[in-house]
Structure 1
């Protein structure tokens, strides 16, 4: 199963906080085990060798898209692919485990002062529950099958 939404525009802040725009779409891809949501961003300028403004705003853009369209979708089911010219790069998505609300947490309880071990299941980390972050250093070219599907 493959579902491709139409491309949409998203406005994001540039490094100097001026508005910029890029296009994105959501692609749903089912493999043998589960359905994955691929956030497909199209950068109008190449991402290599110099960094672009979209690179600095990937966290903002990703979280806005998730808030608009992927609230409640599991963290392990979301991928980010950035296309610049003919190059497609997939970036891992991470989150801050300290932001995950634990059962029994209340607003009246002060935050812990020392690190505490907690167990987090990927089923519990969903879009809208925590901010997601893009691991820019771990970006890698997408596999051929995914690249062909996104074209």
Structure 2
């Protein structure tokens, strides 16, 4: 671990659009190849799939944190860990490739009716350039080494 911020509060909309609050922090870790930013989110209630308001707001929360603190950080360097009681769950972070802006002028191109292939590298997809999404079905328990860094 190379950096661990203090916990901060974040307000998010509940399912009925009432305000809710939770806490988060950013932890930077370094392995042999690169530095990763772990968004450590603390849930006030246990998170079973699709049963909490926090679960439905993870995309909103993640993008607000990225917009506030991780703009310009590569997609492949961001991890999300949700802590509910003593359970730590890591969720994969994805993005919609159709949201990635193509280089060059869009106005100067002829309109087409078919999709055209496009090569996207994770190095080019950074916080603030597209919305990130949480893959809720891909959640898995964190490794013991990551759990130790977050405690």
Which TM-score band (shorter chain)?
A: over 0.9
Alignment match, 1:81: 81
Write out the 4+ residue segments of structure 1 that deviate beyond 3 Å after TM superposition: 105-113
Asked if 1:139 is matched to 2:139, the reply is yes
Conservation of the 8 A alpha-carbon contact between 2:49 and 2:55: no
Matched residues, number: 151
Alignment match, 2:15: 15
Alignment match, 1:125: 125
Q: TM-score, normalised by structure 2?
A: 0.94
* Unpaired stretches in structure 1, ≥5 consecutive residues: none
Separation (CA, whole Å) in 1 of partners of 2:81 and 2:112: 36
SS across alignment from 2:41: strand
**Equivalence map 1:1-150=2 (5 Å):** 1-48=1-48, 51-106=51-106, 112-150=112-150
Q: Deviations over 1:85-104 (max 9, x none)?
A: 00000000000001111111
* Unpaired stretches in structure 2, ≥5 consecutive residues: none
Separation (CA, whole Å) in 2 of partners of 1:118 and 1:49: 34
Give, in angstroms, the shift of residue 115 of structure 1: 1.9
Separation (CA, whole Å) in 1 of partners of 2:113 and 2:81: 37
Coordinate RMSD, CA, aligned = 1.6
Q: TM-score, normalised by structure 1?
A: 0.94
Relative to 1, partners in 2 of residues 1:43 and 1:110: Cα closer, same or farther, differing over 3 Å? Answer: farther
